[in-house]
Structure 1
Amino acid sequence: MEMSEQVLKQLQWRYATKKFDPTKKIPDDLWQVLEQSLVLAPSSFGLQPWKFIEVRNPDVRQKLLEHSWKQTQVVDASHLVVFAIKKNIDAAEVDRYLERMSEVQGTPVDALQGFGNVVKGFLTKPPYPLNLDEWSARQLYIALGQFMTCAAMLNIDTCPMEGLNPAKYDEILGLTDYATVVACPAGYRAEDDRSTPANRPKVRYKLEDVIQYID
C-alpha cells in the first residue's frame, strides 16, 4: 500500500477508544517510539512548556479513576499519560531552554541571547492579550495530537480525556510546578468494544465545508 493511502487508512481506523483490553500491553519498542513522539513534539519557540507523566503504578491509576468520571480506560489501557503544563512560565524557563540549545547544538549561550530576549519579550509583554497558562495548554495539545497520530500509525489505540478533575490529578500525582490539562490512555481496543465510533463510519463534514481556498 502506498504511504499516502496507509496514512489515510490509519486515520480512518483511529477512534477514541471507550473500552481497552487490559490483557494486551504495548511492546516496549513501540512504546519507546511513542515516548519519542512526545519528546519531538513541536511548540512555539521550541520552548516545550510541559511534562508528560506516565502513570505506571496500578494503585495510582485506580485513585485517578475516581476523578475521571469513572472512565475505565484509565485503569484498563496498557499505558496512561497525563499531559501537564509548566505553570507560570517565565524568563527562567527561557534560560533553561537556551542552556539545552547550547548543549545540543554546540552554540555558546551568549550567542543565543538575542533569540532568548525575543522569547522573554513575548512572555512579559505579549503582542496581544495572553494568559500564559492558556498559551502553554495550546502548545500541549499539539503534543497530544502528535502522540495520537503516531499511535494510530502503529495500530495503537488512544482516548484523549478532558473528563477529569485536574486539581485532584495534581494532588494524587504530587504536581506543584506543573498542572494537569488532559490525559490519554493508550493500548489496544477490546474485541467487544461496542461504542458507536468503533462500529460506524466517521461523521465528518465534507472537505469543501471545512477547507477554504484563497487564491
Structure 2
Amino acid sequence: MHFLDIAKNRYSTKKYNPNEKLSEDIVQQLTQILRLSPSSINSQPWKFTIISDTKVKSELAAVSYHNLEKINQASHLVVFSAIDNVEKFENENLSQLPEAAVNYYHQLVKPLGEAGIRNWMQHQVYLSLGFFLAGCASMGIDSTPMEGIQPDKYNEILKYDGYTALFAAAIGHRDVADFNQPTLKPKFRRPLEEVIDHM
C-alpha cells in the first residue's frame, strides 16, 4: 500500500478491542521504530516506556482525564518522555555526538537558557511521536496520541528520574464499531490550497 493511502486511512482510535493484543514480535518492531526516530543533531533526548501490564495501565488511565477508557482497552500504552535536566543531557547525550553537532548545540541551543533547552528537547520528542504514528499505521496498528495526561502523576507512577512524561499513545486494534474510523466518520482536513504553498 502506498503511504498516501495509509495517511488517508489513519485516524485517532477512540474505541479499542480489548481482546486483541499485539504480538511480541510486533511490539519488538515498534521498539526499533522508536529507537530509530529522527531528532535534531541526533540528540535523542528521550525515553519511551511501553506498558502492557494491566495494573500499571489502569493506574495511568486513572490520571489521563477523558482518555481513561481508551488506555484500559488498548493493547499497550507508550509513554513519551524527555530529559528534564540539562546537565544530564550534556553529560550523557551531547558527549556522544560528533563535533559539528556539539558546536551547533553550543552556538544555537545553549544560548536559549535552561527553559529554552528543555523546550528544544521536548520538540525532539514530538518528532518521534509523528514517526511512531506513521510506523504504526504502516503496520496496520491503530493508535491514539494523547496529551490529555497528568505528567506529574505519570512521573510518580513510572518512577521517572531525570525524565518527565510529555504525552502518551495508546496502540492496539480498533473495535469494529469505533465511531471515529474514516469509513464511519469521513476524515476532515482543510482544503489543500489553504495549507500548502508552492513557490
TM-score, length basis structure 2: 0.89
1:161 and 2:146 aligned: yes
Report Cα offsets for 1:14-62 as digits up to 9, x if no partner: 1100111111111222222211111111111101111001123211111
Pick aligned residue for 1:36 from 14, 32, 35: 32
Calculate the aligned-residue CA RMSD, in Å: 2.2
CA distance in 2, matches of 1:76, 1:142: 26
Q: Which amino acid aligns with 2:51?
A: V
For the 8 Å contact 2:76–2:171, the answer to whether it is kept is yes
1:146 and 2:131 aligned: yes
Q: Aligned ranges for residues 4-83 of structure 1 at < 5 Å?
A: 6-71=2-67, 72-83=69-80
Q: Aligned ranges for residues 97-136 of structure 1 at < 5 Å?
A: 97=93, 100=96, 112-113=98-99, 115-126=101-112, 131-136=116-121
Q: Secondary structure at the match of 1:199?
A: coil
CA distance in 2, matches of 1:196, 1:25: 19
Structure 2 gaps of 5+ residues are none
Q: Secondary structure at the match of 1:8?
A: helix
For the 8 Å contact 2:65–2:149, the answer to whether it is kept is yes
CA distance in 2, matches of 1:141, 1:82: 12
For the 8 Å contact 1:83–1:183, the answer to whether it is kept is yes
Pick aligned residue for 2:187 from 202, 206, 213: 202
CA distance in 2, matches of 1:197, 1:131: 38
1:180 and 2:165 aligned: yes
Q: Which amino acid aligns with 2:82?
A: I
Identical residues among aligned pairs (%): 34
For the 8 Å contact 2:50–2:78, the answer to whether it is kept is yes
Could you tell me how far 1:183 is from its partner in structure 2? 0.4
Match of 1:109 in 2: none
Match of 1:87 in 2: 84
CA distance in 2, matches of 1:70, 1:207: 31
1:189–1:158 Cα change, 3 Å: same
Q: Which amino acid aligns with 1:125?
A: P
Q: Which amino acid aligns with 2:84?
A: K
For the 8 Å contact 1:15–1:198, the answer to whether it is kept is no
CA distance in 2, matches of 1:209, 1:20: 33
1:213 and 2:194 aligned: no
1:199–1:124 Cα change, 3 Å: same
How many equivalent residue pairs? 198
Could you tell me how far 1:140 is from its partner in structure 2? 0.6
Q: Secondary structure at the match of 2:145?
A: coil
Q: Which amino acid aligns with 1:204?
A: R
Q: Secondary structure at the match of 2:121?
A: helix
Could you tell me how far 1:88 is from its partner in structure 2? 2.6
